[in-house]
Amino acid sequence: MEDVMRITPLGSGQEVGRSCHLLQFRDMTIMLDIGIHPGYEGINGLPFLDQVEPDQIDVLLVTHFHLDHAASLPYLTERTTFKGRIFMTHPTKAVTRLLLGDYLRLLQMRNAKTEDVLYTEADLQACMDKVELIDYHTTVTVGGLSFHALNAGHVLGACMYFLDIGGRSLLYTGDYSMEDDRHLMAAELPGRIPDVLMCESTYGVQVHASRAEREARFTGTVERVVSRGGRCLIPVFALGRAQELLLILDEYWQANPQLQNIPIWYASKLASRALRVYQTYANMMNARIRQQMDVSNPFSFKYIQNLKSIDVNNFSDSGPSVVFASPGMLQSGVSRQLFDRWASDPKNGVLIAGYAVEHTLAKEIMNQPKEVVTLEGRRQPLNCLVDYVSFSAHVDFVQNRSFITQVDPKHIILVHGQKDEMGRLKSALLLQYRKLPENKRPTITMPPNLQTVSLKFARRRSAKVMGSLAMTGSDPPEGEEVQGVLVTHNFTTKIVKPNDLALYTPLRTGSISSKLHVPFAGSIETLRLFITEMFAGVSEDKVEQDGKLCTRFSLHQNKVMLLLGKSDGVAIVEWEASPAGDVIADALIALIMHAQSSPASIRLTSKPCRHPRAGKDEKGDAPSRKKSRTNHETLSENRLRLIKDTLLDQFNNVEAVYEGNMATYEIKTDTGLDSDVVHEEEPLTCTAKVRFEDSNGGAAEISVECVDKKLASNVQECLRNFARSLAPLQT
């Protein structure tokens, strides 16, 4: 049997922005990230949520707080039928609340259309209340899914998710970084090989310059702009790379006294709150920051000031300065207002320090256009310096390839990258894996949005023996039977003893006792006859109940009881519910009803039948051919006589000698099976012996002797089947 894992990008399939992926496997649906596209307005920036039933999503896992990975969360939880559970790390939740609140304020500042406002402040708060927190390396189980978070670098609190479901595993990287920076640790490798790796491909086959080169270029460009009296705008997101760049520039200013009279502003309402979050979670940063925290707060900058008012019209920019302003894509807000104000002056400069998404102004000005359009819609010349230094916390080609090689998955799915860059990365990986044997090469796919990747896996069938059943001291020999309860729960199968069910499974052992009152107007003697003829191993005793002496019949190892005499005209049947117990109780109830249905016929059939039969008995009189059981005959004696009648139906000449529970039958016939026809004056003789083990007509011992072996075999088989059909049921 095969299981099919289906992975569908609802966003960031052959694009960067609105990361959102749907994973469907073994009746579970998991969503990975729920971002928004910064290049589109309103509902157009959402992932393709109309292609999924939100109420079918069991779990949503958010990797980090960037808008392109988390900004559609309140819309999903408050404006759709989503009822699943949401998980993210502690810093991610804290910062997401700040960023999404700021995102709403930016929409209000630019007087966004009503339809472009996807949720309200109340929706945001209600959404945050539903978020559950997860720590790195802590495993969480939801139904048949278990997952844990791994450090992804990138930004504070960013994580990868390693998922286990139905015996298969998947690693989703989100955005990740493989190098230590000023404050964060590099991403970590998983401890084991996943079946599927979903990996970002933002930079394709591009290779970053060394960190020292990038820092030198960054600080050199800033110094060049301010040294000529210009204003340097650095558009950043309020949280993320901004803190890294602030640390770098504060250190550079400290090392260069000639620059210390030039102000550096951090123009964001989130600045102070953002830095408080970073101080709170300093234990999640690298050793350098943790050591500095023991001495002083590394985020208490000496040369960087928070711009209290971000009213651009009242901002004095008469001299050189450096301004960090959000948002990073220059689509709106303070960064866009300052850009519109400074873009036409050749002394000024704009430094793009992170990845620029397609369809944004930040991406557009990197192509050095001669003119740009302001927020008011007027065209103006672009005369200022535009430079790009990659401080984006995404892996480059060398880092990505190294990570993929070390993870060594069976299937690779590339996401979060422009189509061309992603295609180049896929080609480079295919070229690398071409050196391996074909059966060891992973599959590599790069699905566009809404194209499902279907991966087939053979279903693994195995069961773990657990508890006292497994504590044998040595491995059982091959072929030995293991007896226990087989329990399948959340795609795992266990074999345990019933006593261990509560310890190793959600099940508990118990029993159900049933009691039924059956109307009964017959006699105990009649009922006893029916019960003992139907069942073997019936015990009968007298018990006292409520001051009355009652008759009790016990069957099925005392698990089925019949009580007579406690209530007039009522037979009480009690039993422990089980497949066998239910069947025996049903049969007993049927006997009770039958024993009182026709008393006259019961009385007649309990006496000898007087019907004459042609022929002579041992005394020469015309006897009864079939003698029913008399009051003095045991069940065994009665059945021995029935056996003689059965033989008489087959052979005309049968003599019988009865001795208690045993009888000897002498059968004479003129036709054999092996010996064909014999002479009439020398008939063929078969001697059969039948002995019941007790007087209740239980198991019978049968032997037949005859010179015609085939005839003897047939007679013995006939008697054996007849005795078996007459025997009471063993309960």
Catalytic residues: 394
- Backbone phi, then psi, for 543, in 5-degree steps? -130, 155
Burial classification of residue 406, based on how many CB atoms lie within 10 Å of its CB (0-12 exposed, 13-18 middle, 19 or more buried): exposed
The helix, strand and coil proportions of the chain, stated in percent and rounded to the nearest 5, come to 30, 25, 40
Give the chain's largest Cα–Cα span.
Answer: 146
Q: How far, CA to CA in Å, does 643 sit from each of 12, 102, 278, 661, 700?
A: 85, 98, 96, 13, 12
Angstrom distance (rounded) from CA 196 to CA 179? 24
Q: If we measure between CA atoms, which residue out of 683, 719, 686, 682 comes closest to residue 705?
A: 686
**Dist CA 492 CA 257 (whole Å):** 66
Q: φ and ψ at 259, to 5 degrees? A: -100, -10
C-alpha–C-alpha distance, residues 693 and 480, integer Å? 34
Instruction: Output the 3-class SS for 673-690.
Output: CCCCECCCCCCEEEEEEE
First-to-last alpha carbon distance for the chain, in angstroms, is: 40
CA 274 to CA 238: how far, in whole Å? 7
Separation CA 449–CA 301 (nearest Å): 43
Burial of 723 per CB tally in 10 Å (0-12, 13-18, 19+):
buried
Amino acid (one-letter) located at 564? L
| Contact by Cβ (8 Å): 277, 98 | yes
Determine how β-strand 168-172 pairs with β-strand 196-200.
parallel
Q: Reading across the β-sheet that carries 492-496, which strands appear in turn?
A: 464-465, 492-496, 485-489
Cα separation of 90 and 130, whole Å? 13
Residue located via tokens 């009480």? 572
- Give the Å distances, CA to CA, from 726 to 345, 595, 699, 722: 113, 19, 10, 6
Residue 722 to residue 641: CA distance in whole angstroms: 12
How far is CA 44 from each of CA 40, 50, 115, 654, rounded to the nearest angstrom?
Answer: 6, 12, 10, 99
Q: Which of 54, 5, 35, 69 is nearest to 197 (CA)?
A: 5
Say if strands 729-730 and 535-536 run parallel, antiparallel, or are unpaired. Answer: parallel
Strands 560-567 and 570-576: antiparallel
**10 Å Cβ neighbour count for 611?**
8
d(CA 155, CA 174): 11
If DSSP codes are grouped into helix, strand and coil, which group holds residue 323?
A: strand
What gap in Å lies between CA 554 and CA 575, rounded to an integer? 10
> Could you tell me the two tokens for 444?
């590599």
Contact 69, 155 (CB under 8 A): no
Q: For 490-500, b where at least 16 C-beta lie within 10 A, e where not — what string?
A: ebeebbbbeeb
Instruction: Write the CB contacts of 582 (distance below 8 Å, at least 6 apart in sequence).
Output: 575
